[in-house]
Structure 1
């Protein structure tokens, strides 16, 4: 007697599945989902007999991967995309970005900018992003509207802005936003001191206390430029990482963003402390900050995730581009063609990012019991033929335009390259509105 099939919510069959739990690829397998979690991973033929799904997808020329995790971004800065290209970091910040933000940043700006970012990220297979910006409650609203997972920063600086008056005010408002969002299972928070050159010793000490009391990660720009290091030596008599170590910032919950200019002792320091790095290769190149020593960091055992940075300095929120560029730069800068193979690049864009955020128990890989945060990538196009190694193709051939389906917590957010949510926000119109405001406040007139 044939047993009655077990009822589930979702069954996804794919020609290839990269679980990221191992480097092996599963062929012609299926993922069964119930209640937003992965119930089973098994051969597709067996899955059809064992399960009866409310929603079923057969992806015959696709590779199914975990949803990508953007470990560092400033999501609302999509509205400043391309506003100040071809400038070094400090000129870019001080003369262009900070003045534009001073004129524009508000809760509506962050809401509309993060909505635009969520749409772009979902279309590129990103299901989770780690944000460092202002008005986190507005970013939380946007992420929730699009069904995405987000880690929101309690962004902290010493100087006043449109959001807060001083470091204590930034922290108080960020903690209030965290309290307001505590019942949303898709949202988490990080303490986010902006950078050593914008945060005082006193504030870093308070951040360390809060991180321990609240069990929150610390997300901070670090060693992005040579000038940053030189300025720290002049002002504090030590390099930024040494200062942060003395201020009790470094540990398993620390996410250092960029980390371009590290010496051997600093790589060992980060590895010994169990820190993570958010590697943003495109932004590092575009701002001429340099090339991070990722091959050496990886060899030292540092947990490395990938980020896009903001759209004002990238200018894309494209994790496929970051995976490919990270792999190529690691090979080229180290002189080792075996550095950062495809499986490693995918792990950086998924499970490593989840680990950095303390979310690896629920997302970042395809495993029983984890949330069904998934991305399907079509390899059927002529540009992907022939396909000897689907994992190699994922990193070195495919792009975000090949993403066909995305699920977060088992909910289909992108189907056949079409977003299921967010059409009512008229993102093109809101982007045009903010562009007009930006052009007025910066004195720029862009051709239509």
Structure 2
């Protein structure tokens, strides 16, 4: 029986599979069939296969699509609204009041669309979203063709879209049931933080997550103040409390973790938790420094996230990865900490592992979903090229993202969105900006 033709054959100058680690394949082809990677072979061999479409990608580095493991997508509409403030002032006096006044389904729809488009143009094929009206965010993800983990926000007080935690969980369970067969969307639980969710709600989330095999995504140890207040009020560190309540495990995604002592590290290792590092948000809010190299050396899975655009102020995961690599060296006091290849792994396969997607995406391997990004390294600022991964991490910006495919479907072609209208998105964002600024 003749071989079925490939739907698409990509022929880059460099192919970086991420797994195996540290490998750069020169003059290889990647073939896609039925949305999955069906071929990785030297160029001459790849060209012998029947193919429906072939794309030459000279001076391009082909890599797994980037994975933004933490963000608040709709907060793009609050970009720059309360800059240069410490976390609790920023949150209590500016962000929460603004959200209470403005956030509704239309806000979430327009803000999430804007965030998705920005991320696609930055090479992000998959992201985790932690925000209100998760059902609306899921609709945006479905329409845009991108991949996402949508988390159900749970807090002890009323939030946009839910009068209380019970209503949030009820709606979340319905969303989980509605989307459990969706090929690109996963639903997880998103208790906001230890200081905003009570023990009984956390125990309920643990039971539900166990029953549904769902992730738990939570801000933890974001600042020293958070940890100190927890010890003062409850006599234990927040991570220890979460361990006591049974939340820690391979599905637990601890966001930020700038404060880690020996006991914290032991808990993270024992329970095989993932950390989502958000360096630029932590720097901007002066929250602290996640000890990435120490975690990495201990065997803890560390992914990377941008956080929301209101505290970053962009969703540029490639830039975030460069910051993470440089910051890791400074924090560890070692120039060898978090090299370029490891940084790229943190932004791809480690993110997939954190979200429970490592068997499907995060690396370029046969049988995995064809979530693929092409970076153009032909520019003046990237020359000469000795190690293309080093040039990508240390000498390139998101403007070098040329193409993006998710499940074999092209969402970015020559830097242009294929399924979203960039001009319309900008106009809608400007309308929101004018409305919010007027008040």
Compute the TM-score of the two structures, normalised by the length of structure 2: 0.98
**3-state DSSP of counterpart to 1:347:** helix
| Offset of residue 234 of structure 1 | 2.0
Partner of 1:412: 410
Q: CA deviation at 1:55?
A: 2.4
Q: Which residue is 2:23 aligned to? A: 24
Q: Check 1:295–1:327 CA distance in 2 against 1; reply closer, same or farther (3 A cut).
A: same
* Whole-Å separation in 2 of the counterparts to 1:262 and 1:84: 28
User: Residues 293 and 328 of structure 2 are in contact (CA less than 8 Å); yes or no, is this contact kept in structure 1?
Assistant: yes
Alignment match, 1:227: 225
* Alignment partners' CA distance in 2, 1:305 and 1:121: 16
Q: Distance in 1 between matches of 2:227 and 2:168?
A: 25
Q: d(CA) in 2 for partners of 1:234 and 1:434?
A: 41
Match of 1:256 among 241, 254, 257: 254
The Cα shift of 1:51 comes to 2.5
CA distance in 2, matches of 1:95, 1:385: 47
**2:6 maps to which residue?**
8
Deviations 1:165-201 (A, max 9, x none): 1111111112222222233211001111000010000
| 1:237 and 2:235 aligned | yes
Deviation at 1:124, TM superposition (A): 0.3
> CA–CA distance in 1 between the matches of 2:159 and 2:68?
26
Counterpart for residue 314 of structure 1:
312
Q: Does 1:50 align with 2:49?
A: yes
Contact 1:11/1:32 (<8 A) preserved: yes
Q: Report which stretch shifted further, 72-81 or 40-49.
A: 40-49
Structure 1 Cα separation of the partners of residues 354 and 207 of structure 2: 19
The answer to whether the aligner puts 1:35 opposite 2:25 as a matched pair is no
Q: Say if 1:268 and 1:300, in contact at 8 Å, map to a contact too.
A: no
Of the three residues 425, 431, 434, the one matched with 1:433 is 431
Alpha-carbon deviation of 1:141? 1.3
Residue aligned with 2:166, SS: helix
Aligned partner of 1:349 in structure 2 is: 347
CA distance in 2 between counterparts of 1:291 and 1:320 reads 19
Give the conservation status (yes or no) of the 8 Å contact 1:145–1:422. no
Q: Give the alignment of 1:283-294 within 5 angstroms.
A: 283-294=281-292
Q: Distance in 2 between matches of 1:255 and 1:4?
A: 46
Q: Is the 8 A contact 2:194 2:238 kept in 1?
A: yes
Secondary structure in 2 matching 1:42: strand
Cα distance between partner residues in 2 of 1:260 and 1:134: 25
SS at 2:385's partner residue? coil
State the secondary structure of the residue aligned to 1:72. Answer: coil
Structure 1 residue 47: Cα displacement: 1.0
Superposition TM-score, scaled by structure 1 size: 0.96
The separation in 2 between residues aligned to 1:292 and 1:8, in whole angstroms, is 43
- Structure 2: how far apart are the matches of 1:184 and 1:424? 26
Q: In structure 1, the residue corresponding to 2:47 is in which secondary structure?
A: helix
Q: 2-side partners of 1:398 and 1:272: how far apart? A: 37
CA contact 2:133–2:160 (8 Å) conserved in 1: no
Match of 2:70, SS state, is strand
Q: What residue is the counterpart of 1:280 in the other structure?
A: 278
Retained in 1: the 8 A contact 2:81–2:310?
yes
Equivalent position of 1:197 in the other structure: 195
Q: Is the 8 A contact 1:65 1:376 kept in 2?
A: yes
Matched, 1:394 2:413: no
Indicate the SS of the match to 1:159.
coil
CA distance in 1, matches of 2:366, 2:438: 52
Instruction: Indicate if the aligned counterparts of 1:148 and 1:408 stay in contact, CA closer than 8 A.
Output: yes
Task: Give 3-state SS (helix, strand or coil) of 1:421's partner.
Answer: coil
Alignment gaps of 5+ in structure 1: 442-448
CA contact (8 A) 2:15 2:62 kept: yes
Provide runs of 4+ in structure 1 moved above 6 Å: none
Q: What SS does the aligned partner of 1:8 have?
A: coil
SS in 2 for 1:292: coil
The answer to whether residue 256 in structure 2 is matched with residue 246 in structure 1 is: no
Deviations 1:394-413 (A, max 9, x none): 11011110000000000011
* Structure 1 residue 161, shift from structure 2 partner: 1.9
Q: Which residue of 2 aligns with 1:207?
A: 205
Give the whole-Å Cα distance in 2 for the aligned partners of 1:32 and 1:93.
47
* C-alpha contact 1:252 1:275 (8 A) present in aligned 2: yes
The unaligned stretches of length 5 or more in structure 2 are none
Structure 1: distance between partners of 2:436 and 2:430: 10
Deviations 1:307-351 (A, max 9, x none): 000000000101111111111111111111111011110111000
**Farther-moved stretch of structure 1 (416-425 vs 222-231):** 416-425
1:178 to 176, 179, 193: 176
Q: How much does 1:5 deviate?
A: 6.9
Q: Paired residue for 1:375, among 361, 367, 373?
A: 373
Say if 1:6 and 1:50, in contact at 8 Å, map to a contact too: no
Distance 1:60 1:118 in 2: 27
3-state SS of the aligned residue for 2:404?
strand
C-alpha distance in structure 1 between counterparts of 2:220 and 2:17, whole Å: 31
* 1:85 and 2:83 matched: yes
- SS of equivalent to 1:346: helix
